[in-house]
Structures are given as structure tokens and as C-alpha cells.
Structure 1
């Protein structure tokens, strides 16, 4: 039986240590390869305005490469990806994101496709003012 493919959005925050052009491109490529390797398809990648390098609401403590203790980061590079993938393969993607040094945080959400029926697009009802005299 074939698994149902769903549409997802993935927001990742890339560490400032990897936020140069090559580091961002490598992180996006690694995530895209994981998705396509699992049989999915990346439909869009957005790291232009309003995303990109942004100050975070609170500092995030993360391990930096080669350091024994955590560092506190106050900004990161935000990237939004949309893709479709089988529901069972999302765990493989999460595992890759957790093990990636470049990705500080991530959030995967399901994009619901709402079907518009003919009843929902009906003409708005006319409002009749009730005047009591």
C-alpha cells in the first residue's frame, strides 16, 4: 500500500557560525538531498526578506563546532522550505536535522489543503435592518 504524501513547511534557523553564503547553501542542499532521497520533492526555498539573518527573541545556547561548552547566540539565519513527503519519512528528516551542526532549531508543520466547495463561495446574505415603530 502506498503512503499518502502530504505538504509540509520546514523552518530552520542556521547558526551564525555557518551563516555565510557557502554554509547556508550547504545546509539547504543537505536538507534538500535528505527530502529527495526519501522520495519527496522540495517545492520552494525562501531565505529572502523577511527571512535571512535575523535577531532572535531570546538567546539560544548551542554547541559550536570544536568547543566543549555551549555558546549563546542572539541571531540566526532563517530559511523556509516547502516540500511534499510521505508521512513515515518525516522522522528520517528530523533525525538529519537534529544531527546537523549548522541547524540550531527547526519546525516542521503540515500544510492543510482546504477544498473550497460551491456552498462556501455562495453570495453573502443581504442584511435587512429591522425597524420597529
Structure 2
């Protein structure tokens, strides 16, 4: 039997992070993850795992703001609102049941040089309260999840 993912950690271009346990994940598709070797921002030469895209459904129980700052935590309504408003997921960490971690990078391009939003990312909260995210160069959340 293979390993199982226990949680996802989404990393935002602005430096934020959001951890979601697997029981809060519905529909999921990470498109064509490959392995490359590269250097990011002058760091060490490492293995990099780029993906061609992501589509994911996240259940309402995951809509909790996570912060070590009491000031910031009190100001936020929840992570769903933050994700929809900012559109800036850049990569994620898969945490496996054996403790291993794997980083997956998504297509990312800011709309302007001084912005942190990702032109390839769209997100919405459906009438059912679920968060839907699509990161893809040509597909949008409304095309992949038309009426939810």
C-alpha cells in the first residue's frame, strides 16, 4: 500500500501559509507534476516539482484563519475570503503520512510587477459554502465548477 497525504500547506506569494487537513478536501486534481532541477532566487540547486495546474474543492470547516499574530487573526473573516480576494497561491507542500514533504509549484504570473496576485488563479465560494480554486493558464473556476 502506498503513502497517503495527510495535509496540504498552501503558500501565498505574499508570504502567508494555510494548512488544510485531508478531511476538508473534496474534489482534487493536480495536473501533470514533473521533476526538474533548478535554482530559485539564487538559492541552492534543488529538485523542483512544477505542476501544470490545480483544481480543488475545500469544505467549509477549513475556513478558519490561521495566524500567530493576534492582531492579524482578529481582523480576518476567514481563509476563504482571503483566498478569493487575493488570488496569490504560488505553491503547496504535500505532507505524507510517513512525515515526508513534497513541494509542488503552480503556474504563477503577477498581473503587474508590483502586485502579488496570480493571473492564472481563480477562486469562488459556492452557494454550498465550499471554496473552489483553479490554477491553470487557460481554465477558470467558473468553467471547471460552473454552478455550485
TM-score with structure 1 setting the length: 0.29
Higher relative contact order (CA 8 A, sep 6+): 1
Which structure has the greater CA radius of gyration? 1
TM-score with structure 2 setting the length: 0.27
Question: Which structure carries more helix by proportion?
Answer: 1
